[in-house]
Amino acid sequence: MSILEIKDLHATVDTPEGTKEILKGVDLTIKGGETHAIMGPNGSGKSTLAYSIAGHPKYDITSGTVLLDGEDVLEMSVDERARAGLFLAMQYPVEVPGVTVSNFLRTAKTAVDGEAPSLRTWVKDVKGAMANLKMDEAFAERNVNEGFSGGEKKRHEILQMELLKPAIAILDETDSGLDVDALRVVSEGVNRAKANTDVGVMLITHYTRILNYIKPDFVHVFVNGRVAEEGGPELAERLEAEGYERFLTGAN
């Protein structure tokens, strides 16, 4: 079972107005098999946390640690992070011109596993995962994210997660832009991964809606660059009723 430990993480980003501290001491531990909802107002730094763990070059880690099974994630290249078992589904996935979904998935699987998957089982696995996510087979021959609808992008992310079998999956606003049917399909994919593997999930969301489908074990309220409050699923219900207002007085 894996464990991701984030300790007193501080991160800055360079803006036209100068260097701005976005993460102001994040403490969070996620174990395999657990689902942690990270909830917070827009602009509180949730995506910055995801990108910082993933190693996005835009964000500078100024202090703190991120350990995966005791290994220093911040010392790893982006590829090494993926190989170590970290998976990040981007809030705004990028287009990859000229690379088909099929080739992209196979390349990613080969990079993560350190060897190419056996062709026979791989084709079967991809077909099975796509059928589970109610994706048309023709989707595999499209270029990654090119002209994908919001729902297709999210399905593609979950397809990657199902096939790459990460130790820790970071899902950033996986619910954004999904209608109820797509939300159900995508959530079922996450729940399938949870049932079939020991994945630990960091589920970043602004809204409580997705938590009706993916049940969190822990809820962390993220405000102004840090965790302001933590609790169980009941905390999400409270946020649904009250919003983030009580956390915002005196913030900044």
Contact pick of 30, 36, 37, 44 for ligand ADP (by CB under 6 A): 44
Q: How many residues does the chain have?
A: 252
User: In the window 7-26, what residues touch ligand ADP (CB under 6 A)?
Assistant: 13, 15, 22
Rounded to the nearest whole angstrom, what is the least distance from the CB of residue 113 to ligand ADP in the complex? Answer: 31
Q: Decide if 5 contacts 65 (C-beta within 8 A).
A: yes
DSSP letter string, 165-226:
--SEEEEESTTTT--HHHHHHHHHHHHHHHHHS--EEEEEESSSGGGGTS--SEEEEEETTE
- Pick from 35, 47, 102, 160 the residue near ligand ADP by CB under 6 A: 47
Is position 252 an interface residue for ligand ADP (rule: CB under 6 A)? no
Contact call for residues 221 and 243 (beta carbons, < 8 A) = no
Site string for Mg ion, 8-37 (x = CB under 5 A): ------x-----------------------
| Residue 17 Cβ vs ligand ADP, minimum distance, rounded to whole Å | 9
Minimum CB–partner distance for residue 229 and ligand ADP (Å)? 15
How far apart CA 38 and CA 27 sit, in angstroms, is: 12
Residue whose C-alpha is closest to residue 228's, from 21, 45, 51 = 45
Q: How far is CA 93 from CA 7, 31, 144, 153, 172, in A?
A: 27, 26, 9, 7, 10
When asked if residue 224 is in the footprint of ligand ADP (CB under 6 A), the reply is no
186: its two tokens: 């995508």
Residues numbered 52 to 71 that lie near ligand ADP (CB under 6 A) are 58
Q: How far is the CB of 146 from ligand ADP (least distance, A)?
A: 23
Binding status of residue 44 toward Mg ion by CB under 5 A: no
Q: Does 146 bind Mg ion (CB under 5 A)?
A: no
Q: Which amino acid is at 132?
A: N
Q: Which residues bind ligand ADP (CB under 6 A)?
A: 13, 15, 22, 40, 42-48, 58
